[in-house]
Structure 1
Amino acid sequence: MSTATNHIGRKISRIRELRDMKQDALAQALGTNQQAISAMENSETIDEAKLIEVAKALGVTPEAIKNFSDEAAINFFNNFYDHSFTNSQGTFSATQCTFNPLDKLMEVVEENKKLYERLLQSEKEKIAYLEKLIK
């Protein structure tokens, strides 16, 4: 179902469904009944004050309801999924890398090279000391 139209009632219905909320729960949050929610979701327009109340009950902004589209929601979740991974402890986001991994790899290579050179120098000194003791 595409919500490319400006049918506010359908947009409210889709957001409510995405939030896994029944009409009864939204009705209770708004202090009304399920039939009123059904009628609201079937209406093409809604007054601004009521839209603000509905948005608050759904946990979104009025602009989110006005600008909602299924395509945008699908894109959001696809992008979220693409930048996340799941392990046994849950889902972790790994979206913003603040360093270049290749630069870090080269730093480690250089550090290992320096450590190897120091180790080699230490071994040379040990050999020279042992040779001196033998003579």
Structure 2
Amino acid sequence: METAERKRPIHLGDHVRRMRTALGVKQSALATELGTTQQNISRIEQEEDVDDTTLEKIGKALGVSAEAIKNFTEDGGVFIQTLNDSSVGNSGPGGTFSQCTFNPLDKLLEVIEENKKLYERLLASEREKVEILRQQQQA
């Protein structure tokens, strides 16, 4: 017995929501970027069809193309534009994408190292405060 694969229509509002959450952007932040309200973003995400102009604006605010939103899949099979640069490639029928000009893991390690240095400075500052308080108590 064969089972026919049922293809659901694209729900663009849902694609907007999933792309936004995948990028870690809150509705309120997206609304601020677009000059609208959080309620309006919520309404857009509930709509099955979103006009191309709105998709372009949302894509620009999120740093992705409207095509990336349209083609977003749950398994992450989409190229996300992370930098505005001239390294745009042609991916053929699947749309367009931009290549990262940096290694994301290197960037992550750099941020972790910066946070570690900041933590160490804060810790040293707190130790100095404790020492000053001890000296004041002894006096």
Partner of 2:17: 13
Q: What is the CA–CA distance in structure 2 between the aligned matches of 1:11 and 1:75, rounded to whole Å?
A: 12
Q: Greater Rg, structure 1 or structure 2?
A: 1
CA contact (8 A) 2:68 2:78 kept: no
Pick the aligned partner of 1:57 from 55, 61, 71.
61
Give ranges in structure 2 of 5+ residues lacking alignment.
Answer: 1-7, 80-102, 111-139
Deviation at 1:74, TM superposition (A): 6.6
Distance 1:75 1:10, change over 3 A: closer
Pick the aligned partner of 1:39 from 43, 63, 68.
43
Higher relative contact order (CA 8 A, sep 6+): 1
Q: Secondary structure at the match of 1:28?
A: helix
Pick the aligned partner of 1:90 from 95, 109, 131.
109
Q: What is the CA–CA distance in structure 2 between the aligned matches of 1:53 and 1:75, rounded to whole Å?
A: 19
Say what the alpha-carbon RMSD is for the aligned residues: 2.7
For 1:58-113, what per-residue CA distance to the aligned partner results, in whole angstroms no more than 9, with x for missing partners?
Answer: 11001001111112x1798xxxxxxx9x79x939xxxxxxxxxxxxxxxxxxxxxx
Q: Which has the higher helix share?
A: 1
What letter matches 2:22 in structure 1? L
Q: Secondary structure at the match of 2:42?
A: helix
Q: What is the CA–CA distance in structure 1 between the aligned matches of 2:78 and 2:59, rounded to whole Å?
A: 21
Query: Percent identity over the alignment?
Result: 41
Give ranges in structure 1 of 5+ residues lacking alignment.
Answer: 77-83, 92-135
Distance 1:75 1:29, change over 3 A: closer
What is the TM-score when the length of structure 2 is the normalising length?
A: 0.50
Q: What is the CA–CA distance in structure 2 between the aligned matches of 1:21 and 1:90, rounded to whole Å?
A: 22
